[in-house]
Amino acid sequence: MKAMISKCMLGVPCRYDGKSKPLDENILNKLKEKYELIPFCPEEVALPTPRPPARFIGDRIIDINGIDKTDAFLKGAKEALNLCKKENIKLFIGKEKSPSCGIKKTSAYINGCECKCDAPGLTAKLLKEEGIELLSEWNLT
């Protein structure tokens, strides 16, 4: 079975800060036994790396400089969905706290404070709406 996975969790330095967040090797090996992993980074589709960090404010995604990046994030989410449809991918394994890939938590500004709120990122939300199952990095064993 094919599973799309946040690319930064495979050690690719595609995060906003130009770094990666690799999974523990044992967990990754177990995933590889179970799934054919398809790495994907939605933010790389329309944004450079490194890039200014961005957070939800309401339903918009605004970067640290106050620039609205929602369209760029949406482009990446749609590209992820297109790839899932093309490759018949039914599962997305996402990096938590990302405004794109977060499954249980995403980053947001609420009342002027930076926080992690209980909501999915934009890509995870779109994939779920299209019937793709979501699996949080926090539920990998």
Which of 7, 51, 69, 104 lies at the binding interface for ligand SF4 (CB under 6 A)? 7
Site for ligand SF4 in 70-129 (CB under 6 A): 95, 98, 100-101
CA atoms within 13 A on the CB side of 89: 26
- Alpha-carbon Rg of the chain, whole angstroms? 14
Backbone CA torsion sign across 90, 94, 100, 102 = positive
Q: CB of 94: closest distance to ligand SF4 in angstroms?
A: 7
Task: Answer yes or no whether residue 38 interacts with ligand SF4 by CB under 6 A.
Answer: no
* Closest CA relative to residue 31, chosen from 76, 93, 87: 93
The structure tokens listed for 123 are 């890509």
What is the amino acid identity at position 34? K
Which of 3, 4, 15, 72 lies at the binding interface for ligand SF4 (CB under 6 A)? 15
Which stretch in 26-34, 40-48, 82-90, 108-116 sits in contact with ligand SF4 by CB under 6 A?
40-48
Report the relative pairing of strands 2-6 and 91-94 from DSSP bridges. parallel
Nearest-angstrom CA–CA distance, 13 and 19: 4
Total residues contacting ligand SF4 (rule CB under 6 A)?
12
Closer to ligand SF4 by Cβ: residue 15 or 55: 15
92 strand-pairing partners: 4, 134
Which of 23, 41, 54, 91 lies at the binding interface for ligand SF4 (CB under 6 A)? 41
Which of 3, 14, 72, 134 lies at the binding interface for ligand SF4 (CB under 6 A)? 14
Binding region for ligand SF4 (CB under 6 A): 6-8, 14-15, 41-43, 95, 98, 100-101
